[in-house]
Structure 1
Amino acid sequence: MTVTAQEHPQTAALLRAAQAGDVAAIARALDAGAPLESRDARGRTPVLIATDGHHVAAARLLMERGADVNAQDAQRDSAFLLAGARGYTEIVRAALAHGADWRVTNRFGGTALIPACERGHVDTVRVLLATDIDVDHVNRLGWTGLLEAVILGSGGAAHQAIVRLLLARGAQVNLADRDGVTPLQHAQRLGQREVAALLRAAGGR
């Protein structure tokens, strides 16, 4: 439920403090009774706002106070999902320690893993793959993390590392997109020779 500044005098202060990453001000606002799950005009909770600003200490404090790391805003971002997509590995670790649900999906129907793969966040992908997250989850585009790492990736060292991690975790190397195009076929079309070699070695067709 959205709590406005009019409903509690410290809500606006809490939201401002989260935006600034001001740990002391966050603590003061919470101690004065500001609701932990207050929301701004975009539906963002303080922990999501702090995550958006990459304010690690602020996000951690809010989680320690019991913030819901799975609470989603108007565009279906949560602190956990956003941290995964941005490659904020420290916040991802903290969120996992405070109840992050890897099954929650973003506005594209993807888990935190998929955009992390796309954007080449190797450390974040490694952390996420240490959980029970579904390595072959398919988003609304019909893509898995492996497909996104190839189709939207650069083919460089980071995406090569991610492909290795996904394959080691058991990703289905020949799970094709909606048009029946496999990761290997995409890699070949895009001229990603190193990625193609990795996929071929894993049985890619």
Structure 2
Amino acid sequence: MIHRFALFAVPFLFLCLPMVAQAGSASAPLVDAAARGDLPQLQTLLVRGEAIEQRDGRGRTALLAATDGQHLALVRVLIAHGADVNAQDAQRDSAFLLAGARGYTDIVRATLAAGADLKLTNRYGGTALIPACERGHVDTVRLLLDTAIDVDHVNKLGWTALLEAVLLGEGGAAHLEIVRLLLAHGAQVNLADRDGVTPLQHARQRGFGAMAELLRAAGGR
């Protein structure tokens, strides 16, 4: 009985080998070059006609990989060759969203010029503005607020950009400036979280005196 199984198993294994090899040989050379920041290799691959929207195992395009490495020159080359700035990977990052969250202002500017979707959301349901505010990226926030992005967009956690700047910020100069910018661009000062707690109440609870005063002066309750 063992011998009969072996007779069937060996041919089956040989039949599977091509499939295993095929799965293991899947590659995305353009993405790899972009991730390394290898501009000459990237340009060579583009000239050869390598698919610009190819994806690696994480679902990243070359543009996303270049953004991840903050390789601005490669980002510009890829955009010039028609790379989709709104293509999202397995965890719903796009070049625009990732650059916003990281504070890569020059890349955000490049993706905006190439038609970045201001309504695109990340895995938390947030626009590019929300993590930029949370992480204190003042220049990126300033740039995004000069667009038509929704300043009061609410993510899956029930938080706006203003709430995240208060709740997840450090209360220092960067987040204070971001709160000022948000208010100057019409953010609703009393738009509360799911528990009904307003930005001013959160600022007071966290001991952010200057931020609390700024919110109070803008009509916060």
| TM-score tier after normalising by the smaller chain length | over 0.9
Assess if the C-alpha contact under 8 Å between 2:152 and 2:161 holds in 1: yes
More helix per residue: 1 or 2? 2
Is residue 211 of structure 2 the alignment partner of residue 198 of structure 1?
Answer: no
Q: Scaled by the length of structure 1, what TM-score is found?
A: 0.94
Which residue does the alignment assign to 1:39?
55
Q: Scaled by the length of structure 2, what TM-score is found?
A: 0.87
Superposed, 1:133-144 pairs within 5 Å as 133-144=149-160
> What RMSD, in angstroms, separates the aligned Cα atoms of the two structures?
1.1
Which residue does the alignment assign to 2:39?
23
**Alpha-carbon deviation of 1:122?**
0.1
Superposed, 1:137-152 pairs within 5 Å as 137-152=153-168
**Alpha-carbon deviation of 1:64?**
1.1
Which residue does the alignment assign to 1:184?
200
In structure 2, the gaps of 5 or more residues are: 1-21
Which residue does the alignment assign to 1:101?
117
Assess if the C-alpha contact under 8 Å between 2:183 and 2:218 holds in 1: yes
Aligned residues: 197
Assess if the C-alpha contact under 8 Å between 2:31 and 2:60 holds in 1: no
**Alpha-carbon deviation of 1:13?**
2.6
Assess if the C-alpha contact under 8 Å between 2:158 and 2:193 holds in 1: yes
Which residue does the alignment assign to 1:154?
170
Instruction: Give structure 1 regions of 4+ aligned residues with deviation exceeding 3 angstroms.
Output: none
Assess if the C-alpha contact under 8 Å between 2:133 and 2:141 holds in 1: yes
Structure of larger gyration radius: 2
Superposed, 1:38-77 pairs within 5 Å as 38-77=54-93
In structure 1, the gaps of 5 or more residues are: 1-5
Percentage identity across paired residues of the two chains: 71
DSSP 3-state at the match of 2:28: helix
Which residue does the alignment assign to 1:3?
none
DSSP 3-state at the match of 1:63: helix
Letter in 1 for 2:87: A
Is residue 25 of structure 2 the alignment partner of residue 12 of structure 1?
Answer: no
